[in-house]
Amino acid sequence: MTRTWRIALLAIATMSPGVHAQERAAAAKPDLAKAQQIVTQICAACHGADGNSVAAANPNLAGQDADYITLQLAHFKAGIRVNATMQAMAAPLSDDDMRALGAYYSQQKPKGLAAKEPSLVKAAQQLWRGGDAANGVPACAACHSPTGAGIPKNYPRLAGQYADYTYAQLKAFKAGERGADVAGKDVNGRVMTAIAAKMSDQQMKAVADYAAGLR
């Protein structure tokens, strides 16, 4: 091997780690332009172009944690989370698409909502902050934070979410219609199923309304 070739190979070996790191960083960066295109063509009809839904039946996604959105899309695609509409929407998405959509919605600004039932606020606040020890219901704030911002990836943001949507999800958990996947992959869903099973209908309504007004 000539001296020139040895120098060239040494240079390549020295440069490669940096080059590969740059390539990995580029590959890992979410394609927000493509995400916006998908949102405009598909997601906006139900969730709004900026993630603020116009219908209580469809959740607000603006400000939701990126990893949580990505995980839910993956669960819909895999059939771990069952919803005919969302499973159809998630089916053609690649892993990169789902990551990009999570990143896109996490960067949108939630408009915020307000609690509508003043009579429920006091009871809901107690449940949110301190739980219901007598019935084995932990404080909602333990997983969803005092402000309702949630814990990234595992527990969603509930602040500013439609009360009707949150209430519907709690009922679904309690009825075993969500979080009861046979493969056992929705660990956090099973946690919520166990918690919701101990909550009364009034408690679910109260917490859902209270969370809507959190900031």
Q: pLDDT tens-digit profile of 112-147?
A: 899 998 888 999 999 999 999 999 999 999 999 999
* Cα 73 from Cα 98, distance rounded (Å): 6
pLDDT of 25 strictly over 70 = no
> How large is the average pLDDT for residues 89-99?
98
pLDDT of 55 strictly over 70 = yes
Do 112 and 214 contact (CB within 8 A), yes or no? Answer: no
> What integer pLDDT is reported at residue 153 of this predicted model?
83
Q: Amino acid identity, residue 155? A: Y
CATH number of 118-212: 1.10.760.10
Kindly report, as residue ranges, where domains of CATH 1.10.760.10 are found in the chain. 32-106, 118-212
| Residue 123 three-state SS | helix
* Domain 32-106, classified CATH 1.10.760.10, yes or no: yes
pLDDT of 12 strictly over 70 = no
Q: 173 to each of 33, 43, 135, 158, how far by Cα in Å?
A: 35, 24, 17, 15
As a whole number of Å, the CA-based R_g of the chain is 22
* Cα 101 from Cα 73, distance rounded (Å): 9
Mean pLDDT of the chain: 89
Span 138-160, pLDDT tens digits: 999 999 999 999 998 889 999 99
> What integer pLDDT is reported at residue 183 of this predicted model?
62
Span 167-201, pLDDT tens digits: 999 999 999 999 876 566 777 888 999 999 999 99
